[in-house]
Amino acid sequence: MVSSRHEASHRIFQERPELLKPIFQILGVPYPAKADVEVLTPDVTEIRPLERRVDSVLRIKPPDGKWFLLAIEAQGRRDKDKAVNWAYYLSFLAAKYQRPALLLVVCQDKATATWAAGPFELGVKEWTALSLHPLVLGPGNVPEILDEEEAAQDLSLAAFSALTHGRSGNLPAILEAVALALVTADRSSISYFSSLLEIGLGETPAGDAWRALMQNYFPGRGTLVEEMLEAGREEGLAAGREEGRTQERAEAVLLVLEMRGIPTPPETQQRVKECTDLDTLGRWQKRAFSVATADELFTDDH
């Protein structure tokens, strides 16, 4: 099952495309000025009984119209089959869209990042038919952002730094810099980045440290999802406290699924929104952090 940490590592590029500019600078690759970024389908399946899916695919469109594709893969360990799959992804995307395609691999440990950089040579002994050279992000080249002011200037990069350096000895300082930056951020940024890091760091010591920081800087607000919805409570989302609480809890369930990239059909959204039992909604909210499909929310709820 794909983990929350894996999802957060690549979905941040879909949801915060402004992160691409500093990332390309880190990689030493020119990035077009004023480029528009469009999220494309990650499906690279042909008409065969074999599904292939890239983690994220972005179309980057500079003003001159010479757009290109960026395939993003979050990689947690070495995998001998990945070189062939990655080569397929790039070839398929270049053939489908008739445009250049790049591969960016996001890693959270140095050993995997070193391996992922390749090059991967495909062919037979002494005859290379294809050489694959991925762009790689990992602890070795993503900066550790330890300063509150620096984090506030680019929250996307600061959050990505925290996700990438989840095993660093400097992680507490990285997380504190993000937390301090969020204190003066707008509500939407607080909502997005607090939830992203809670989901992306998951049930790890790093995740526990992040939740403790949020309790410290945003006291009395319960879980991060509840903190995100605090603004709604202040303004009055619904008539009556009880109705407001159930509405918030329902929105929290759907928000976690959205952040993890789990598709939520209309019937699922309707069932969640129409539920008025706080205990049931609380149970669904906890499950939302680990289910593989939206249907699994309702396991044993018959």
> Residue 191 has what pLDDT?
80
> pLDDT of 94-140, one tens digit each?
999 999 999 999 998 899 999 999 899 988 877 888 899 999 999 99
Q: Can you tell me which residue has the tokens 């350096």? A: 165
Look up tokens 């001159």; give the residue: 64
| Domain assignments of the chain as residue spans, ordered by start | 4-137, 148-298
Please name which of 39, 12, 14, 25 lies closest in space to residue 163, comparing C-alpha atoms.
12
pTM above the 0.85 mark?
no
Q: Give the model's pLDDT for residue 212.
A: 83
Say which DSSP state 294 is in. G
Mean pLDDT over 19-44 rounds to: 84
Residues 211-239, mean pLDDT to the nearest whole number? 56
Q: What is the mean pLDDT of residues 44-54?
A: 55
For the domain spanning 4-137, the CATH number is: 3.40.1350
pLDDT band at 47 (very low <50, low <70, confident <90, very high): very low
Residue 58's pLDDT is 92
Q: What is the mean pLDDT of residues 236-241?
A: 45
pLDDT at 233 over 60: no
Q: Which of 20, 10, 120 is nearest to 68 (CA)?
A: 20
pLDDT averaged over the chain?
82
